Structure 1
Amino acid sequence: MDVNCTLIECLDAKDNKRVLFNFLILDAPSPSSLPAYLKALQRRQVRHLVRVCGPTYDATLVEKNGIEVHSWPFDDGAPPPRGVLESWFRLLDTEKAHLDSGDIKQPATIAIHCVAGLGRAPILVAVALVEYGGLAPLDTITLIRERRRGAINQTQMHWLVKYKRRGGNGGGCAIM
């Protein structure tokens, strides 16, 4: 079984050869497709799986395979609420700090999924590209849509265009 996924690298602006994060956008696995998903996640050395929809599988099976599951569901078609954003940035800040300190040698690969991998998951990646990559919102949307057709609806796009960055994280991101 093929897993429908899109890999996006986030590069450091100060050193555009340094990857800060690898994001893997997915649709939601079902109990029957979970073994194939686990193989795909392990092949890509995923350390975190962020679920932004309701549960469709047993997260303990994922965690038994060494992947930490974060469940931050929010409404389909909506932008992420403040609590989800705070949790998302906390995860990214922690992973970036581990990379900066040398605690880890390779950037984290973080898989993110919603039901179809077209709305909630891509909007989290998009806001990360704006925050950590310093990309303009519309450029970020264009990059994601080039790889994942139909990603990010009009409501989410308007939210991202109005989004104000937290501060100078710097960086540059590229779709791989």
Structure 2
Amino acid sequence: LKENNIKHLIRLSNDKYPTEIFTAEGIQFFDWNFADGDSPPPNYLSAWFTLLESLVPQKDSTSNTEPPIIAVHCAAGLGRAPEFVCCALIEFGYSPEEALAKIRQCQKNALNKKQINFVLAYKPMKKRKLSIKDSSCIIL
């Protein structure tokens, strides 16, 4: 993770592993577990968007430093993590359909019907000044 400039790790599952190995390397760790197949709680989404907003460079920024990378994972990578990322894409400028298409380009079987419906119905929490479309977003 450190070699790939990952500065933040978000765990959305109840996987148990020691977090100290990450924090000792300067990686900020977030443990935002919610049930498999469910949609993310609003408080997790709010914290997620606050984190993203603090990291997305301003359009007029003259900094040449690479923005830190955030790794988001769940147990299988098919539900919670893709849904979480879809909500962020929508929050920062994508339509629900664009967000789903971007996720599905990378993970064809991502999201169950309930999660897809949640994404399609998702409305941004607030008007954001920043846009992920203005930044780099890579989904693996």
More strand by share: 1
- Tell me which stretches of 4 or more aligned residues in structure 1 moved more than 4 Å: 101-104, 173-176
The Cα of 1:142 is off from its aligned counterpart by 1.5
Residue of structure 1 equivalent to 2:77: 117
Give the counterpart letter for 1:118 in structure 2. L
* CA separation of 1:69 and 1:42: change in aligned 2, threshold 3 A: same
Give the counterpart letter for 1:75 in structure 2. A
The Cα of 1:171 is off from its aligned counterpart by 4.3
Residue of structure 2 equivalent to 1:77: 37
8 Å CA contact 1:144, 1:175 repeated in 2: no
8 Å CA contact 1:79, 1:120 repeated in 2: yes
Residue of structure 2 equivalent to 1:105: 65
Could you tell me how far apart the structure 1 residues matched to 2:74 and 2:64 are?
A: 28
1:90 matched to 2:50: yes
For these two proteins, the number of residue pairs brought into alignment is: 133
8 Å CA contact 1:143, 1:175 repeated in 2: no
* CA separation of 1:63 and 1:95: change in aligned 2, threshold 3 A: same
Which stretches in structure 2 are left out of the alignment for 5+ residues?
Answer: none
Could you tell me how far apart the structure 1 residues matched to 2:123 and 2:22 are?
A: 34
The Cα of 1:68 is off from its aligned counterpart by 0.8
Structure of greater relative contact order (alpha carbons < 8 Å, 6+ residues apart): 1
Residue of structure 2 equivalent to 1:141: 100
Could you tell me how far apart the structure 2 residues matched to 1:88 and 1:159 are?
A: 17
Give the counterpart letter for 1:152 in structure 2. L
Give the counterpart letter for 2:2 in structure 1. Q
TM-score normalized by the length of structure 2: 0.84
Give the counterpart letter for 1:137 in structure 2. P
The Cα of 1:104 is off from its aligned counterpart by 8.0
SS for the counterpart of 2:76 is coil
The Cα of 1:149 is off from its aligned counterpart by 2.2
2:14 to 50, 54, 75: 54
The Cα of 1:174 is off from its aligned counterpart by 5.8
Give the counterpart letter for 2:111 in structure 1. I
Could you tell me how far apart the structure 2 residues matched to 1:77 and 1:61 are?
A: 28
Could you tell me how far apart the structure 2 residues matched to 1:136 and 1:48 are?
A: 26
8 Å CA contact 1:51, 1:73 repeated in 2: yes
The Cα of 1:58 is off from its aligned counterpart by 0.4
Identity %: 34
Give the counterpart letter for 1:159 in structure 2. F
8 Å CA contact 2:15, 2:75 repeated in 1: no
* CA separation of 1:84 and 1:171: change in aligned 2, threshold 3 A: closer
